A = this chain, B = another copy of it.
Amino acid sequence: MKSRPEASGGHGSHTVQRDNKPALTNRISRIEGQVRGVRKMIAEDRYCIDVITQISAIQSALDALALQLMESHLAGCVQHAVHEGSGEVAIAEVIGVMRKLAR
């Protein structure tokens, strides 16, 4: 696993993420329910177009979750890194993960 930069240790992103934790947990629990719903649709031989429609709803929910995490990360860890003078590294990491989210 990717090593955890100094800047994220015990403050910054972590404080922010902890504040958001109920919202994040709620989002991921709903996504889990949606994925179980798709598994059930496949098991029941439901109409393909309806299954794909559900999958696209899950994609949107995951995008929203990723954006919320990114916002926490920028407001917490990245701001902290900028103050500490290690902003460039934190920004390179953000761009790296944005590249994965793009097509």
Instruction: Tell me the A residues contacting B by CB distance below 8 Å.
Output: 1-2, 4-5, 8, 13-14, 17-18, 21, 24-25, 28-29, 31-32, 35-36, 38-39, 42-43, 45, 47-53, 55-56, 58-60, 62-63, 65-67, 69-79, 82-83, 87-88, 91-103
Contact = CB atoms under 8 A, between A and B. Distances in A.
Given A2-B53, A97-B53, A67 B102 contact: yes
A70 B56 contact: no
B36 A32 contact: yes
A97 B56 contact: yes
Contacts of A92: 71
A55 B65 contact: yes
